């Protein structure tokens, strides 16, 4: 029958992968999780001979099991094409004893492209499979990167509309310009007077409003999500961890069966959860190193077992990680609770009502292969400067958080296991912060002029994703209060 999906919060109705992708969020507010996690059915030595597209098929066919081979290969071939600016799509660079997995060579120069390039194809294919007549309305909150990647993926896709909410003062100038210049008659970008958690909470509230769903249906629409709460976002992210391992294997850096460590700069927890699922599918991962910025709610969780969002929200130079409610952690909580939806639902209720919960000792024991660390703003800047000065390799602020935390991990543990660091964005997406880290910031220059200077200093060509928006017209300038999201959705759709 293949892998089926059910809610982390107790809804007993199991759905297929295509149905889970279409719905995005379960009716009870939970996230869809697989009823079993299948093991890779090819050896890692066999997988090392495959390119990225074929690796994607071998991984995704196992979890998206109601898609036919023809359907899945159609989605993969159309997603992973010339929109990526390197032949390998996810190349790795070795620097100071770690392997940086560059996940930013897609259309919007962030790791979200790896999944959001394929999600529109998965979703439209799923709609046909399930005889959906309504238009699919993608409703998404973004801390900076998901928004543009989703907009780029869904722009002008027939039968879809996309609405993106972002914190008006909580993203980088380049991130904002990428979003507000987005073309496509089916696209809508709205700033909110609040932070990412406010946007995410508002979107979830809309998703779980049955009256709104009925209203939409009557007008020929239904909601889905492009956030990593959607299993169609998460499954493609598993692929690049498998691919990274097999590249190391192919290059003779490791032998088959050798363990690796994975370091992931983490906000909403989806990217590192994908690595966790890769491990469950048979990838030999020793330690999942979860790197946080000054919003270190995840660091505190892994250290104490208590998740507590009752704290000040900090705006940092790594805005995509400025998150206090890490939605995808719910899937991990569900799994370490023994796939107990009732227990997970109790924790999530406490998070909503009290802003915190604490797991028990038995659950904490299942997190022994997770290591939490965080980097301050000064440590993040130092990681950029030191790596560039020592090696000439340039990284962005989010990757720098991971690099800094990895240094702390090695110092704490002495562990010399081969390590892959998820490099999640181009340094050109956060030009001012990167230039400041290098001691080269100039307040008189705008972010595009700074990009020119950064290119001169680094010798790294400015990506087309930046040059193309330099003089692009702003098409989306709406800003609303954090409690006005539903009205904004109605205004766009109706």
Closest to 233 measured CA to CA, from 299, 297, 142: 142
Closest to 174 measured CA to CA, from 478, 400, 469, 443: 469
- Those residues with Cβ within 8 angstroms of residue 445's Cβ, 6 or more apart along the chain or in another chain: 453
DSSP secondary structure letters along 70-82: HHHHHHHHHHSST
Strand order in the sheet with 92-95: 92-95, 98-102, 419-423, 260-265, 285-292, 370-374
Q: Report DSSP state, residue 212.
A: H
pLDDT in tens, 75-94: 999 999 999 999 899 999 99
Pairing status of strand 221-224 against strand 260-265 = unpaired
Closest to 105 measured CA to CA, from 377, 378, 423: 423
Q: Report DSSP state, residue 8.
A: T
Q: Using CA atoms of 272, 273, 279, 282 in order, give the dihedral in degrees to the nearest 10.
A: -130
d(CA 387, CA 318): 17
* Cα–Cα distances in angstroms (integers) from residue 106 to residues 88, 103, 112, in the given order: 11, 8, 9
d(CA 228, CA 110): 14
Q: What is the pLDDT along the chain (494 residues), one digit of tens a residue?
A: 799 999 999 988 899 999 999 999 998 999 999 999 999 999 999 999 999 999 999 999 999 999 999 999 999 999 999 999 998 999 999 999 999 999 999 999 999 999 999 999 999 999 999 999 999 999 999 987 889 999 999 999 999 999 999 999 999 999 999 999 999 999 999 999 999 999 999 999 999 999 999 999 999 999 999 988 899 999 999 999 999 999 999 999 999 999 999 999 999 999 999 999 999 999 999 999 999 999 999 999 999 999 999 999 999 999 999 999 999 999 999 999 999 999 999 999 999 999 999 999 999 999 999 999 999 999 999 999 999 999 999 999 999 999 999 999 999 999 999 999 999 999 999 999 999 999 999 999 999 999 999 999 999 999 999 999 999 999 999 999 999 999 999 999 99
Owner of token pair 């492209």 = 113
């Amino acid at each position: 029958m293949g892998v089926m999906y059910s809610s982390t919060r107790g809804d007993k109705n199991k759905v297929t992968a295509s149905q889970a992708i279409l719905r995005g969020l379960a009716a009870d507010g939970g996230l869809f999780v697989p009823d079993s996690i299948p093991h890779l059915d090819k050896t890692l030595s066999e997988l090392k001979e495959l390119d990225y597209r074929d690796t994607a098929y071998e991984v995704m066919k196992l979890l998206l099991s109601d898609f036919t081979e023809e359907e899945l290969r159609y989605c993969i071939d159309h997603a992973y094409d010339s929109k990526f600016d390197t032949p390998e799509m996810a190349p790795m660079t070795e620097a100071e004893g770690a392997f940086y997995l560059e996940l930013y060579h897609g259309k919007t120069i962030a790791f979200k492209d790896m999944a959001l390039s394929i999600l529109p194809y998965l979703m439209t294919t799923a709609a046909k499979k399930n005889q959906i007549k309504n238009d699919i309305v993608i409703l998404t909150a973004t801390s900076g990167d998901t928004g543009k990647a989703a907009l780029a993926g869904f722009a002008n896709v027939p039968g879809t509309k996309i609405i993106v909410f972002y914190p008006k003062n909580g993203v980088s100038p380049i991130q904002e310009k990428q979003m507000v210049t987005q073309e496509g008659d089916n696209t809508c970008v709205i700033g909110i007077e609040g932070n990412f958690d406010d946007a995410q909470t508002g979107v979830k509230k809309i998703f779980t409003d049955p009256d709104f769903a009925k209203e939409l249906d009557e007008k020929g629409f239904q909601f889905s999500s492009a956030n990593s709460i959607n299993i169609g976002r998460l499954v493609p992210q598993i692929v690049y961890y498998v691919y990274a391992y097999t590249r190391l294997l192919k290059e003779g850096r490791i032998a088959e069966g050798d363990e690796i460590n994975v370091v992931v700069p983490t906000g909403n927890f989806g990217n590192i959860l994908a690595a966790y699922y890769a491990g469950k599918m048979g990838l030999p991962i020793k330690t999942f190193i979860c790197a946080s910025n000054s919003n270190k709610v995840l660091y505190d969780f892994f250290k104490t077992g208590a998740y507590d969002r009752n704290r000040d929200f900090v705006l940092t130079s790594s805005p995509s990680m400025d998150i206090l409610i890490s939605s995808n952690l719910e899937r991990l909580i569900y799994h370490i609770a023994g796939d107990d939806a009732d227990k997970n639902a109790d924790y999530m209720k406490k998070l909503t009502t009290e802003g915190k919960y604490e797991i028990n000792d038995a659950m904490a024991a299942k997190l022994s292969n997770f290591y939490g660390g965080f980097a301050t703003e000064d440590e993040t800047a130092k990681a950029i400067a030191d790596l560039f000065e020592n090696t000439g390799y340039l990284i962005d602020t989010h990757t720098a958080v991971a690099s800094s935390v990895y240094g702390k991990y090695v110092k704490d543990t002495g562990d010399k296991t081969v390590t892959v660091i998820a490099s999640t964005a181009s340094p050109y997406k956060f030009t001012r912060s990167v230039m400041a880290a290098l001691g080269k910031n100039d307040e008189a220059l705008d972010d595009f002029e700074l990009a020119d200077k950064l290119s001169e200093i680094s010798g790294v060509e400015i990506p087309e994703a930046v040059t193309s928006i330099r003089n692009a017209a702003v098409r989306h300038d709406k800003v609303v209060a954090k409690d006005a999201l539903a009205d904004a959705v109605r205004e766009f759709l109706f």
